[in-house]
Amino acid sequence: MRNTPKKSSPRRERKAQNKIKLGARLQRAFDFAAHQHAGQTRKTTTIPYIAHLMGVASLVLEAGGDEDLAIAALLHDVVEDCGGAPMLNQVRRRFGARVAKIVDGCTDAYVIPKPPWHDRKVSYINRLKKENADTRLVSAADKLNNVRSILSDYRVIGESVWSRFNGGREGTLWYYRTLRDEFLRSKLNRITRDFDLAVRELESLTGNSAPKLQNEG
């Protein structure tokens, strides 16, 4: 008896059409990021900086981001940490205008030494209010990965974790709380929902309170 091939259901076909396609560009972006950030580590640790970039890219892909967004996630710090405006031009040339726009939107400093911490963060938050959904998604993934790292370290070393940050305890909590509130102005997604929960947990550990989660809508 001959087997009859199963017909694809419309639902299955739509799912296949929506499958995220990843190709050689993503590998090139990873290689580029690894080369540019070679020797860099997470604040006061021995963790290679590429671990953060991989974590952000993973969050973006898990949230449904496409290849351009994953590439931007891998490169989101390359302008700030590896060359400023000339590096942004290189990103645009290598990976396209869309990726460059997202990386630009995730950058809060273009020169070394960087401007004063508080002024720089206020400026970044104000810019974020005007950014498109692509940039906000990558930015939220970046901040979520950062807060999760702070939480993990806080559980081990407690209050001394704040010595790593230019804003100290109060400044760092203000920054992530303010970012959380800004992200919650838009419709919730996987990343912004988890970011809100992570900030709440950090506030709870440090004795701060937080407002209730906004409804999805």
* Separation in Å, CA 2 to CA 7, 25, 144: 15, 43, 53
Token pair of 2, please? 């001959």
13 is a catalytic site residue? no
Kindly name the residue from 66, 67, 81, 203 that is annotated as catalytic.
81
Which candidate, 27, 138, 28, places its Cα nearest to that of 93? Answer: 28
Distance (Å, rounded) from C-alpha 36 to C-alpha 92?
A: 15
80 is a catalytic site residue? yes
Kindly name the residue from 13, 31, 67, 80 that is annotated as catalytic.
80
Positive or negative, the Cα torsion across 120, 84, 127, 29? negative
Q: Which residues are designated catalytic?
A: 80-81
